[in-house]
Amino acid sequence: MLWGNIEERVINLNNERQVTAVREFLSRFSLTFNEKVDYTMALYKEDKIVATGSLSGEILRNIAIDESLQGEGLTSAVISHLMQEAGRRGIYHYFIFTKPDKAHLFKELGFKEIARALPFAVLLESGIGSITTYCKELAAQAANLPAGNRAALVVNCNPFTLGHQAVIAKAAKENAAVIVLVVSEEGSLFPFDVRFRLVKEGLAAYDNIMVIPGGKYIVSAATFPGYFTRGDETVTAQTRLDVTVFAQYIAPAMGITRRYVGDEPYCAVTRAYNEAMLSILPTYHIDVLEMPRIAIQGSIVSASRVRELIRQDGWEEIRTLVPETTYQYLRSPAATPIIEKIKASASRH
């Protein structure tokens, strides 16, 4: 497409020269580019990039406009192009991250602000569906829970261990109802459907616990804007933005007044997440209760330990760290592809 002296092009993500040009342009705005994006376009003037944007699932990302052409309608052109491409892919809901001082530009294009983590990031959305709709669905699911204090836990459970079970059991004992939100994002060695099933099976004995998918507003690619922050800023922005969304929308929708977490001696990101909860949630009248990790035979129970033991075929010790339902799954033929994947991977997740 061509108008005036501005040409619109689709970037070939397999063409190193084109990708390098996009990467260099984005670096002027302290944005990073990687090949995990699904689609990238750019606007050219005299064969030089003056604007670009990418699509990654529902996220419109890496949107940047040459300083000399800002205010000329190029942002709208980039967004419109990306939305049209998303529609061709069957995607009709969109997220955008931006710096706080740029949020107004996207609001003018019809995006609604969801939350911000100052001074790092603002999350906005547009299209079919919204966090309001999501919260109405959550409220409907929670409607039949017992009256009284309601607690929540957000868990990944990669896989579900006795440590997870212990902190959830504590919450169930101390509250009328507990809502367990299982992270839906597919970034773990155990896929979501397996993690969700093992959590449900491991908690089947409790009649005041509801296990539901976390969806796209909890610890997802949408709430983790890692591509325009650096180092410690990335972790801070990610965790504070995610916790703010939970506090402003999810907790009130489900009547949650407490959030339980296990302490985190190993993972810096999870530890920062706990710190963000302890800082933010009490300001929304949500108590945070941090439980020490349980140890069995002197070994801290953790999913990462279970995965390492799988690599070592340490099945005898694994059986001491997980519920029987998890163990039986791990030893079943259905788990074979995952076991093989874990053994072939050095991933911590």
pLDDT in tens, 51-68: 999 999 999 999 999 998
Confidence band (pLDDT; 50, 70, 90) for 348? low
Q: Mean pLDDT, the chain, as a whole number?
A: 90
| Average pLDDT value for residue range 95-113 | 93
Residue 349 reports pLDDT greater than 80: no
pLDDT of residue 9: 96
Q: What is the largest CA-CA distance in the chain?
A: 73
pLDDT of residue 120: 84
pLDDT of residue 33: 85
Specify the CATH number for 134-344; select among 3.50.50.60, 3.10.129.10, 3.40.50.620, 3.40.50.800.
3.40.50.620
Residue 127 reports pLDDT greater than 90: yes
Nearest Cα neighbor of 210 from 174, 177, 186 is 177
CA distances from 113 to 52, 128, 204, 285 (A): 22, 15, 38, 22
| Average pLDDT value for residue range 179-196 | 93
Cα–Cα distance measured from residue 334 to residue 328, given in angstroms and rounded to the nearest whole number: 10
| CATH code of the domain made up of 2-129 | 3.40.630.30
Q: Could you tell me the two tokens for 219?
A: 């610890």
Q: Report the SS3 class of residue 125.
A: strand
| Average pLDDT value for residue range 117-138 | 93
Cα–Cα distance measured from residue 109 to residue 342, given in angstroms and rounded to the nearest whole number: 44
Strand order across the 121-127 sheet: 2-3, 6-10, 39-45, 48-56, 59-65, 93-98, 121-127, 112-117
Beta-carbon contacts of 18 under 8 Å, excluding residues fewer than 6 positions away, are: 11, 12
pLDDT of residue 229: 43
Beta-carbon contacts of 44 under 8 Å, excluding residues fewer than 6 positions away, are: 6, 7, 8, 9, 50
Share of the chain above pLDDT 90, in %: 71
Instruction: Report, in angstroms and rounded to the nearest whole number, the Rg of the chain calculated over CA atoms.
Output: 22
Q: Could you tell me the two tokens for 173?
A: 């004992």
Q: Where are the domains of the chain?
A: 2-129, 134-344
pLDDT in tens, 198-218: 999 999 999 999 999 999 898
Cα–Cα distance measured from residue 258 to residue 201, given in angstroms and rounded to the nearest whole number: 24
pTM, entire model = 0.89
